[in-house]
Amino acid sequence: MAESADAPRQVLRDENEDKENMSSFEPQLKKQKLSDHCLSIGYKLEDRLSGILCCAVCLDLPRTCYQCTNGHLMCAGCFNHLLADARLKDETATCPNCRCEISKNLCTRNLAVEKAASELPTECQYCNQKLPRNILDHHERELCAERPTACKYAKIGCPWLGPYHEGREHETSCAHPKKSGSEVLEALKVLDLKQLEEKQLYSKIFSLLSLEKITFNDLQLKPYRTDDFITKLFYETSRFSAFNQQWVIKAHVNSDHKNPTQACQRKLVYQLVLKSRISSPLRLHFLALKGPYGDMKVNPAIYEHEFTSDSTETEVKHFPITDSTECNKLLATRTINFRIIMFQVS
């Protein structure tokens, strides 16, 4: 009888213990559900590869890729800019990631990264279509229906510029073909002026080439520092002979700027300097070109100067490089190779 009376009490105790255990039990946290949008952005293979293969400076995928001794990647433009800044500051160029020394000799091309980056997709700037980088230029230049195109009557003054797929519709309704001859002549005058400038340049070159006294020299501009309290970078060639005289060429970076390292646009200017003594005036025409061992894009320009005993240096002239990118490219090299052609005018 005692055992039968204790049985209901034991059952109540077990039920109370089960309730206490249930109240102290905490279920596992549920995983947060990711939407399809989150899965599609930031988790694609090409997005992850773009973050891995990008330039350490500009964070863009490189077309030409250099790497430091520790394998950090830099595009050619940023690599040359780092070397140019170091040249201007008289410092050792370092990798922006690991701070190891970088130079043309220490850094190497990474062809595998270049090929991988060329296969990654990127958006067309006109139609936003995603295409592999290696065919993007051809698409934007020849195939894209949204690429900007001028009217075929632009030569006679039509200013229209619009998407390629709207070009035919515009040309059928363009009013310029129906204009009078006098109106068309006004537009043709602008083209004639451009062609006249080119023709005058070629005519001047051909006339100079017919002169009796012509000489050319393949030279190297080497970097030096001034002796001022704040040293500045300048370039100078060794002495060379021309027309029985001794000459030197000096060059500066952004001669009108106090601190070229803080300038976005950089340019190289040069002067032709006569080192010999002369008794009579010497009139010369000269121009700088890319030499056989040089590697730069140039826009040649002909300059002239009359050298006398009181005027032995020409005015500051623009070195014939195309843009700031070419200037950084030249500053990144140890020496600048070019050719100077000189014409003596009697």
The Cα–Cα gap between 73 and 85 comes to 18
What percent of the chain is helix, strand and coil (3-state, nearest 5)? 35, 25, 40
Kindly state the tokens that stand for 197.
Answer: 């400038």
- pLDDT at residue 269, as a whole number: 92
Q: For 116-142, how does the pLDDT look when each residue is reduced to its tens digit (9 = 90+)? A: 999 999 899 999 999 999 999 999 999
Kindly state the tokens that stand for 26.
Answer: 């905490």
- pLDDT at residue 213, as a whole number: 92
Question: What domains are defined for the chain?
Answer: 44-140 (3.30.40.10), 154-206 (no CATH), 211-344 (2.60.210)
C-alpha of 190 from chain center: 31
Q: Angle formed by the axes of helices 76-89 and 324-332, to 10°?
A: 70
User: Which has more confidence, 261 or 275?
Assistant: 275
Q: For 75-111, how does the pLDDT look when each residue is reduced to its tens digit (9 = 90+)? A: 999 999 999 999 998 899 999 999 999 999 999 999 9
The rounded percent of the chain whose pLDDT value lies above 90 is 55
- pLDDT at residue 256, as a whole number: 62
Q: Is the pLDDT of residue 235 over 90?
A: yes
- pLDDT at residue 77, as a whole number: 92
Q: What is the DSSP letter of 107?
A: -
- pLDDT at residue 339, as a whole number: 94
- pLDDT at residue 306, as a whole number: 94
Identify the H or E element spanning 245.
strand 245-253
The Cα–Cα gap between 43 and 52 comes to 13
Is residue 285 within 8 Å of 307, Cβ to Cβ? no
CA-wise closest residue to 251 among 184, 315, 319: 319
- pLDDT at residue 346, as a whole number: 79
pTM of this structure: 0.73
C-alpha of 182 from chain center: 44
CA-wise closest residue to 328 among 234, 283, 264: 264
Q: Is the pLDDT of residue 42 over 70?
A: no
